[in-house]
Amino acid sequence: MYYLFTKNILIQITEDLKNKKFLIGDLEFDILPQNIINDSFSSSNWNRAFKFKPNKEVLEYKTFFTMVEIDLFFKNNKIEVLTKKSFFQNIINQPYFKNCFLNEIVKHYFKNTLRSSKTLDNESLFLAKYKPENKKDILRIDSFDRFVIFDENIDFSKKKFQTLFIYKKGLKKATWSVNSKNQLIYKIPNNLTSELINQAFAFDLNGQYFLINNNSKNNPNLIFELLINDNLVQKTLLQSIIQALNSIEDQHTSWHLYNFTKELKYIENDINNLSSNHEIISLKSKIFKQNYLNLLPKLNK
């Protein structure tokens, strides 16, 4: 069972005054537990709120509302819902909730989520194999700085970044360019065969993890927002990119490698060539270490 997210939902309780029934979703009750009534409240402010309503209209009624926290999990290729309140577990187990309202919850939750063009293959097997973390806060940031992008259909034109690496199939050699926003973009040949790279939309060089935000095959509203650490695939990927950057035929190889790794060893010779004064060299090295300046866009090709 893989944890997806937690959500507070507003459940509407309708009291049918004529038939002396309480309606919640598909269910009817002659009486309700007193603690449910005590925890409920009425307010006209909830008229436009996102809520679970009874699946039946009545003419004479009173309306109450109660807030319930639910946890959503993915198990056996479907979404399971649990709550700590035993009375409402029966409510969320009813067909009307599962077949109608649950999809609205998932759709509402992921409405602002970055969605890749990929669909997660063999969902339950993939989750069991890689044991990913749920990392929606990472995937909703607007910065792609120092991301290695695997999904060629991702639109990064409005994303913030200084340096971006596009890992692209079909390329014969690595290239680089600087756009009108002074953003440095590398295109790297993708020559690796890897399930994880094929499924991921990016690798974050800052945090050193793979990012997945794929669509679900079983629910069109569900997006898997995953963070995966895999040292073996990561090592192979980084070696592949370093090899590609080394093959770029220009005078900036050391800076290409520095931009990718942020390791000063690649530009020590360039720093030393700037001045023979030891104090100036130390100062420049300190600046590089503190700020990780990307100077390549300022260089002439």
Question: What b/e readout covers 47-76, taking b as 16+ CB neighbours within 10 angstroms?
Answer: eeeeebbbbeeeeebebbbbebebebebee
Is there a single domain that holds both residue 49 and residue 87? yes
Q: Provide φ and ψ at 243, rounded to 5°.
A: -60, -40
Note whether residue 241 is domain-resident. Answer: no
Question: Is 231's pLDDT higher than 90?
Answer: yes
pLDDT tens-digit map of 73-89: 999 889 999 999 999 99
Is there a single domain that holds both residue 118 and residue 104? no
Query: Would you place residue 115 in the very low, low, confident or very high pLDDT band (cuts 50, 70, 90)?
Result: confident
pLDDT tens-digit map of 154-172: 888 888 899 999 999 999 9
Is there a single domain that holds both residue 208 and residue 262? no
Please say which residue of 208, 236, 264 terminates a domain.
236
Note whether residue 85 is domain-resident. Answer: yes
Is there a single domain that holds both residue 22 and residue 92? yes
Is there a single domain that holds both residue 120 and residue 232? yes
State how far Cα 136 lies from the chain centre. 4
**Bridge-based pairing state of the strands 21-24 and 147-149:** unpaired
Is there a single domain that holds both residue 68 and residue 135? no
Specify whether the CB–CB gap between 167 and 241 falls below 8 A.
yes
Is there a single domain that holds both residue 68 and residue 22? yes
Note whether residue 8 is domain-resident. Answer: yes
Query: Would you place residue 48 in the very low, low, confident or very high pLDDT band (cuts 50, 70, 90)?
Result: low
Query: Which pairs with CB-CB distance under 8 Å and at least 24 residues apart come from 251-257?
Result: 252/296, 252/299, 252/301, 255/295, 255/296, 255/299, 256/176, 256/186, 256/296
Least confident of 24-28, 75-79, 253-257, 273-277: 273-277
Residue identified by tokens 């030891």 is 278
Is there a single domain that holds both residue 92 and residue 201? no
Q: Which domain holds residue 193?
A: 114-236
Question: Is 270's pLDDT higher than 80?
Answer: no
- How many domains would you assign to the chain? 3
Is there a single domain that holds both residue 129 and residue 75? no
Is there a single domain that holds both residue 192 and residue 254? no
Query: Would you place residue 41 in the very low, low, confident or very high pLDDT band (cuts 50, 70, 90)?
Result: confident
